[in-house]
Amino acid sequence: MRIPRSSPPLPLLHVALIFLFTSSHLKGFAAGDASQESASTSPVCNVTSQDVKIKNWVNGDESASLDGLSARFGASLPTSVSKALRLPAILANPFNSCNNLSFKLSNSFVVAKRGDCTYATKAQIAESSGGAGLLVINDDEDLTEMVCTNNETRLNITIPVVMVPKSAGDYLRGSISSGGKVDILLYSPTRPILDISVVFLVLMAVGTIVSASFWDEFTAHEQDQPSAETNQEDSVKNTLKIKAVGAIAFVIVASGFLVVLFFFMSSSFVFALNVIFSLAGSQGMHFCIVSLISRASKRCGQMKINIPILGKVSVIAIVVLPFCIAFSIIWVGNRHSPHAWIGQDILGITLMITVLQVLELPNIKVASILLCCAFFYDIFWVFLSPLIFHQSVMIAVATGHKAGGESIPMLLKIPRFFDPWGGYQMIGFGDIILPGLLIVFSHRFDKLTKKGISNGYFLWLIFGYTFGLSVTYLVFYLMNGHGQPALLYLVPCTLGLTVVLGGIRGEIRDLWSYGETPSKVVPGEQA
């Protein structure tokens, strides 16, 4: 007799799948991503913008560093603290710095608000008044690249000009207005070419897919040879085969949900997503823990009690459930903690393993429809959506500035350990689940057609996925942190590789119609 797999509860997972797919691009964004405007072609106004760290002291006590973005003109900033100057900060008067200041400065940073005149005008007035630098307070939390107008082609600005977000500017303004002595130090540390967090993130993504592929084999504990009837019963209970129409509908619904997020994102909306994620994640954790314990102890897996309405329920499932619920509740309550990413990753990985057990691609035909739709979905919402919405919808949702400090949870993330800018490396669940469905199918296909490691598809697709994900982060780095649609690289490296290998081996027809021809159908693979 075969101990049946723990059956993951489907209804809430079905709801969560839309959120998972919508998050297919959310990764790799650092705090302070800047929007850009068209700059003048003047050499004077063609200085490369720098991400800026702003160390500050109030009455001698150092406060948390602030982030800023330098202008396309003016002086460049040093890369280390030791080469930077610590100088006092003074509010401009008038505060917009569009007219001559009411006082002369000496070695001080001028703090002014955005608007009423050009950035270059503000900088010229600040410098002519003796200012050593200018901090421009933006009117929101984004950082806009400060450029010259076409008329400002003969500038001679030699001081650094830096924009800060509204919250940071309000903090500095409030500290100065209240009579505090505020000192500022500006510098622009260099990011490392490769942060070790990228390696760990790739290993987590690949490990999740590999674990899901071998999950059944690892957790199934057989005492006797299972019958075809038993296998078929388990498959019906635990799996949901994706159909071609469903794959297309899934992309359409996910696009609609993304637009809803774009227009209506708020802290309460994102909090609701965090609650849904925690519930779905606790179910995923419950499924994984129960499966592993049942694998380790046959006796625990077989012990059941009869509960009204629910029927026979595994004892170990009842014992584990409170722990999983408590874990998810603790994570929600502490999601802003510096170490909350650990709990989020645990919930996310177990949820994705569960989803990859629940959903199955029947063949390459459906895989091609799903992944090709997802391919164009990612490209459109990252690169083409600004033509309609005036900004990238996917990046706007990913950065989540409208969410009041709340972040969308449907992603794996890990701190940038050796990056002076901090932040997180991230990868959306969709970038793991969608290629993962194909890779799990390739493992199932290899096993049922008795293929080895070299002449199968699974190992090659794992290499392809790892390569595609590495290329994604390489391009992300080369594009100065501009968000990349990961499926643009992952789909060719997985689906494309499958088609190429299938064509070379003369097996593309078998892959395309697998499960549809009676001779190819095996017990347990019925829809």
Q: Which phi and psi (to 5°) does residue 403 adopt?
A: -90, 5
E strand segments, 188-308: 240-241, 304-307
136 bridge partner residues: 112, 163
User: Are 74 and 47 within 8 A, CB to CB?
Assistant: yes
User: Are 23 and 411 within 8 A, CB to CB?
Assistant: yes
User: Are 443 and 436 within 8 A, CB to CB?
Assistant: no
Q: Catalytic annotation on 431?
A: yes
Please name which of 292, 90, 280 lies closest in space to residue 179, comparing C-alpha atoms. 90
Amino acid type, 274:
N
Q: What is the enclosing helix (H) or strand (E) of 351?
A: helix 340-358
Q: Which phi and psi (to 5°) does residue 250 adopt?
A: -60, -45
Classify 270 as helix, strand or coil: helix
Q: Which of the residues 195, 419, 431, 446 is marked catalytic?
A: 431
Residue 134 exposed, middle or buried by CB count within 10 Å (0-12, 13-18, 19+): buried
Distance CA 33, CA 11 (A): 37
Q: Which of the residues 51, 142, 183, 378 is marked catalytic?
A: 378
Sequence-ordered list of residues with C-beta below 8 angstroms from that of 104, at least 6 positions apart, any chain: 129, 130
Hey, what are 468's tokens?
């595609």
Distance CA 215, CA 152 (A): 64
Per-residue DSSP letters for 372-409? HHHHHHHHIIIIITHHHHSS-HHHHHHH-GGGTT----
186 bridge partner residues: 54
CA distances from 265 to 28, 173, 247, 335, 417 (A): 20, 29, 26, 18, 30
Q: Catalytic annotation on 419?
A: no
Distance CA 199, CA 190 (A): 20
- Measured from the Cβ of residue 27, the count of other Cβ atoms closer than 10 Å reads 26
Classify 517 as helix, strand or coil: coil
CA distances from 136 to 25, 91, 279, 467 (A): 32, 11, 43, 42
Per-residue DSSP letters for 40-94? P--GGG-PPP-EEEEEEEETTEEEEEEEEEE-SSSPPPPSSGGGS-EEEEEE-SS
Residues labelled as active-site residues:
378, 431
